Amino acid sequence: MRVALLFIDGVGIGRRDTSTNPLARADLLLSQFDDGSGTPLPHGGQLAALDATFGVEGRPQSATNQTALYTGEPAPKLIGAHKLGYPNAALTEIIERRSIVKRLKQHGATASFVNAFPAIYFELVGKVRHFKPSASTLAFRAGDVALKLLPEGLPADIDGSRARQRGFEVPSRTAAEAAQVFWSCAADFTLFEHFAADEAAHERDAPAVERALATFDGFVRAVLETRPPDVQVLVTSDHGNAEDLSHRSHTLAKVPLLAFGAPKLPAVENVADVGRYVLQALGVGA
């Protein structure tokens, strides 16, 4: 059995309120709500609601919760705080030791990060202030898995529109074409990350949030339609944000875990449990 993880930054399980929640205005796979209602999942999909706070005071943030996701460790608890943006030295050390990619590789499994980066990324990251590696790139670096260079793989916006606006030569792709690229890059563990909805939510730009969510939803559905029978597909997030545009901040909402092609999910309680589940599904002890 292989595992594919489709990650979307900043999407929680919020109120079914069309005035503040873009997910309540469409029947998306991630249109799941805190009253237990939501879009029925196709292909025998399962839903779990994950805690994103880890019992740590304050609002969940990307650096700590993505570290938790890609290590299976309760990063906010380990450092005693929520850390926004990119991993600091303490989080980087956790990733270097406990990266799920590193542990999978040590047990002979293969891993692939489908996101592709422009050449300038490799020139600037870690060398220019405020241009730092993400938890995901650190997790793959810890496993000695090389990052992809555009136009190989997929840009983070999936269809390439934002990348082209920034001057990069990226082909325009439909959801079906993007799914084909995704599966062509697949390994025992395959990751794709999407950030546009979170970025737009911080600006309270409802149309941009809706476009990002719709693009991601179309891609996920195309991935599911073409899913090989030996692959579990997981869809999850790190913290809430896009489900409540009444303010610019992250939320305390639980986040969804959608699972397709999986046996009955074990008890998963928080974001770190997703990383642990990936290890277990691929036969590696957490």
* Cβ burial 111-121 (10 Å sphere, 16+ → b, else e): bbbbbbbbeee
Rounded distance, CA 5 to CA 27, Å? 21
In a domain, 286, yes or no: no
Cβ atoms of 150 and 116 within 8 Å: the answer is: yes
Question: Which stretch of 96-110, 168-182, 217-231 has the lowest confidence by average pLDDT?
Answer: 168-182
CATH code of 89's domain: 3.40.720.10
Cβ atoms of 248 and 57 within 8 Å: the answer is: no
Quick one: pLDDT at residue 122? 80
Rounded distance, CA 103 to CA 44, Å? 30
171-184 tens-digit pLDDT: 899 999 999 999 99
191-204 tens-digit pLDDT: 999 999 999 999 99
In a domain, 28, yes or no: yes
Q: How far is CA 72 from CA 106, 151, 175, 230, 280, in A?
A: 16, 31, 30, 23, 11
In the predicted model, is pLDDT for residue 144 greater than 70?
yes
What's the distance, CA 131 to chain centroid? Answer: 20
Rounded distance, CA 98 to CA 67, Å? 9
Quick one: pLDDT at residue 166? 82
In a domain, 205, yes or no: yes
Report field, pTM of the whole predicted structure over 0.75: yes
Q: For the chain, what is the radius of gyration of the CA atoms? A: 17
* Rounded average pLDDT over 215-236: 98
In the predicted model, is pLDDT for residue 249 greater than 90?
yes
In a domain, 27, yes or no: yes
How many structural domains is the chain composed of? 1
In a domain, 262, yes or no: yes
Q: Is 251 exposed, middle or buried (0-12, 13-18, 19+ CB in 10 A)?
A: buried
Quick one: pLDDT at residue 33? 98
Other CB atoms within 10 A of residue 246 CB: 13
In a domain, 277, yes or no: yes
Rounded distance, CA 106 to CA 103, Å? 5
Q: Locate 266 and state its tokens.
A: 């074990």
Rounded distance, CA 188 to CA 208, Å? 33
In the predicted model, is pLDDT for residue 286 greater than 70?
no
In the predicted model, is pLDDT for residue 284 greater than 80?
yes
Quickly state the pLDDT bin for 225 (edges 50, 70, 90).
Answer: very high
What's the distance, CA 90 to chain centroid? Answer: 21
In a domain, 121, yes or no: yes
28-56 tens-digit pLDDT: 999 999 999 999 999 999 999 999 999 99
Q: Compute the mean pLDDT over every residue in the chain, rounded to the nearest whole number.
A: 95
In the predicted model, is pLDDT for residue 271 greater than 80?
yes
Question: Which stretch of 4-8, 67-71, 88-92, 147-151 has the lowest confidence by average pLDDT?
Answer: 147-151
Domain extent at residue 258: 2-281
Rounded distance, CA 208 to CA 200, Å? 6
Rounded distance, CA 274 to CA 257, Å? 8
Quickly state the pLDDT bin for 128 (edges 50, 70, 90).
Answer: low
* Rounded average pLDDT over 111-130: 82
Rounded distance, CA 240 to CA 188, Å? 29
Quick one: pLDDT at residue 126? 65
Other CB atoms within 10 A of residue 153 CB: 19
